[in-house]
Amino acid sequence: MILNLFRKNPASDAVHAVYRAIVAQSRQPVFYAEWGVPDTVTGRFDMITLHMGLLFRRLRRSGKAPQEFAQALFDLFFKDMDRSLREMGVSDLGVPKKIQGMGNVFYGLLGKVNDALDAGDERELDAVIARNLFAEKPAEDTSQLARYLARQSQYLATQKIESLMAADIHWAPVLNGEEAE
């Protein structure tokens, strides 16, 4: 039993690798420098949430193993958020409240994004982004991010579930301006 503590868990390694890929993709400078996503803790949280949501869309309705993988990814995300809040000096008593609020934002944003993507409604997706990511400081144009999310969702849909769960995740290149196709 004690030897289990020293064994590598390939599933856990894959979850960590996918999480790192999501975080790396969400930190693309174009989002913040050119598309106006606030380069704040909240803005970065929103971008990670959006990218996780795209992957969750691909994993949903795909059976038990992908759902368990998505749950493990979700758990890792909020464990990382907990750690980050503590590093920023949030008190032990304040962290659960903040995490609960972040969970509400996470589910609310993903629900609205999924509804818009499921309906193929880019205007609604654009409106969701404007209301949620740019509520404090409206952006001139959020349509680039809406087109990007729709294109990434389509791109992820072409990838095999087994590959994604093995941390072989690929993102479509970020197109500066995300020109309409």
What is the DSSP track for 13-30? Answer: HHHHHHHHHHHHHHT-HH
Could you tell me the residue range of the domain that residue 151 belongs to?
9-165
Does the pLDDT of residue 8 top 80, yes or no? Answer: no
Residue 125 within any structural domain of the chain? yes
Quote the CA–CA distance of 173 and 30 in Å, as a whole number: 11
Residue 171 within any structural domain of the chain? no
Which of 141, 22, 130 lies closest to 73, judged by CA? Answer: 22
Q: What pLDDT is recorded for position 175?
A: 76
Which of 18, 70, 36 lies closest to 148, judged by CA? Answer: 36
Mean pLDDT, residues 168-181 taken together? 71
- Residue 114's alpha-carbon distances to 20, 77, 130, 172, in angstroms, are 23, 19, 15, 19
Residue 25 within any structural domain of the chain? yes
Does the pLDDT of residue 138 top 50, yes or no? Answer: yes
Q: Are 65 and 71 in contact (CB under 8 A)?
A: no
Q: What's the whole-model pTM score?
A: 0.85
Residue 180 within any structural domain of the chain? no
> For the segment 66-125, what is each residue's pLDDT rounded down to a tens digit?
999 999 999 998 888 777 777 777 777 776 787 788 788 888 999 999 999 999 999 999
Quote the CA–CA distance of 97 and 150 in Å, as a whole number: 32
Question: Which of 4-8, 27-31, 52-56, 167-171 has the weakest average pLDDT?
Answer: 4-8
Give the confidence band of 176 by pLDDT, cuts at 50, 70, 90: low
Quote the CA–CA distance of 165 and 144 in Å, as a whole number: 28
pLDDT > 70 fraction of the chain, expressed in percent and rounded? 90
Residue 177 within any structural domain of the chain? no
